[in-house]
């Protein structure tokens, strides 16, 4: 079985951070979104990965080569971004006829991945949502099998949203449906979607069983990114050692990267700080701070600060990209 992880998107909802760093590599609870996904898949015995890259794809490759040198990694470049379905189609020659496990690169889910891998059926991850119109939606029979999937329906017949996790056994049929949809120009909301190809497969007789995820962390927007950071810090049991830093109070949970110099500050709760950052005379809570950043005399709450950023002065809530220098004094 091969894993496919599409990470070619430009991450427009996370700008300015995604101008200089793929959203899959933004720090989260001491890790990255992509790192958490790869760890999950490796634990289930998957060791061959296909990364669909585009925007800032070289940073994805550098990350994987540095952090996961042991995995067999393929890189497919999606130059013209036309949707997830279009991206998946580009992997056909590498997939051949193997089973695939597809995980979208901006979403983290908690579920029994080994149970999904071992199932004799193709599987689609779902979760109940209040307003399913913004998601792909699955219509599910009483036996758990899926009768139909629809991408962002205006009048949904189900509130079970697709979470972006799929195990697909009938890969040859999947590629046939993807190519047919692209050839016929069948788009949903301007893109070639994977959802439309899966619905094509169901109509052709493929059996997909649903599985419910326990938690679903959306890391595609600032607000949900900070919520996910707080939840995952607690889950991972992140605890920074206050004795490492001069005259500093740590309110757990907090994750602090290596090489940081922090003094005369209050950090936490729910704070992730990237490596080699300097923080002095500051108060930080419910925030994510990128690597190699310098913060002086500042109060931050519900903020996302990019890497290589210099901040001085007083504020409350910021959303600042990489390579920024601001004096708020």
Q: For 259-307, how does the pLDDT look when each residue is reduced to its tens digit (9 = 90+)?
A: 999 999 999 999 999 889 999 999 999 999 988 899 999 999 998 887 7
C-alpha–C-alpha distance, residues 273 and 242, integer Å: 14
The two structure tokens encoding residue 116: 């999904």
Distance between CA atoms of residues 179 and 24, nearest Å: 27
- CB of 119 within 8 A of CB of 133? no
- Beta strands 278-280; 283-285: pairing state: unpaired
Give pTM, 2 decimals. Answer: 0.87
pLDDT of residue 291: 85
CA-CA distance, 282 to 280, in Å (whole number)?
5
Ordered by where they begin, the domains of the chain are 2-221 (3.90.550.10), 237-327 (2.160.10.10)
Most confident of 53-57, 219-223, 226-230: 226-230
Neighbours of 120 (CB within 10 A): 8
Q: What is the pLDDT of residue 305?
A: 85
Burial class (CB in 10 A: 0-12, 13-18, 19+), 167: buried
Q: What is the overall mean pLDDT for the chain?
A: 89
Residue 2 CA to residue 74 CA, distance in Å, equals 10
pLDDT at 136 over 50: yes
What's the rounded mean pLDDT across residues 206-227?
A: 87
DSSP SS3 for 37: helix
Whether residue 325 has pLDDT greater than 60:
no
């Amino acid at each position: 079985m091969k894993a496919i992880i599409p990470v070619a998107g430009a991450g427009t909802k996370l700008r300015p951070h995604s101008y200089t760093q793929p959203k899959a590599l933004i720090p989260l609870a001491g890790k990255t979104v992509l790192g958490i996904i790869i760890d999950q898949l490796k634990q289930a015995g998957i060791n061959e990965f296909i990364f669909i890259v585009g925007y800032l794809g070289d940073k994805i490759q550098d990350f994987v080569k540095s952090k996961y040198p042991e995995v067999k990694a393929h890189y497919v470049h999606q130059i013209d971004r036309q949707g997830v379905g279009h991206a998946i189609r580009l992997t056909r020659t590498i997939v051949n006829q193997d089973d695939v496990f597809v995980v979208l690169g901006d979403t983290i889910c908690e579920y029994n991945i080994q149970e999904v891998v071992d199932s004799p059926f193709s599987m689609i991850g779902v979760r109940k949502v209040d307003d399913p119109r913004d998601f792909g939606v699955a219509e599910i029979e009483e036996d758990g099998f899926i009768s139909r999937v629809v991408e962002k329906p205006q009048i949904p017949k189900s509130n079970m949203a697709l979470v972006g996790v799929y195990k697909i056994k009938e890969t040859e049929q999947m590629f046939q449906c993807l190519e047919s949809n692209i050839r016929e120009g069948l788009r949903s909301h301007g893109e070639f979607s994977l959802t439309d190809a899966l619905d094509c497969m169901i109509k052709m007789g493929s059996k997909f069983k649903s599985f419910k995820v326990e938690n679903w962390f959306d890391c595609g927007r600032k607000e949900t990114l900070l919520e996910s950071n707080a939840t995952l810090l607690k889950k991972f049991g992140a605890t920074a050692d206050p004795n490492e830093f001069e005259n500093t109070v740590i309110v757990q949970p907090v994750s602090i990267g290596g090489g940081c110099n922090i003094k005369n500050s209050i950090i936490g709760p729910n704070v992730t700080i990237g490596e080699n950052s300097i923080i002095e005379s500051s108060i930080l809570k419910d925030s994510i701070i990128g690597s190699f950043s310098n913060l002086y005399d500042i109060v931050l709450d519900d903020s996302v600060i990019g890497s290589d950023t210099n901040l001085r002065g007083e504020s409350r809530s910021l959303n600042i990209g990489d390579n920024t220098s601001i004096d708020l004094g």
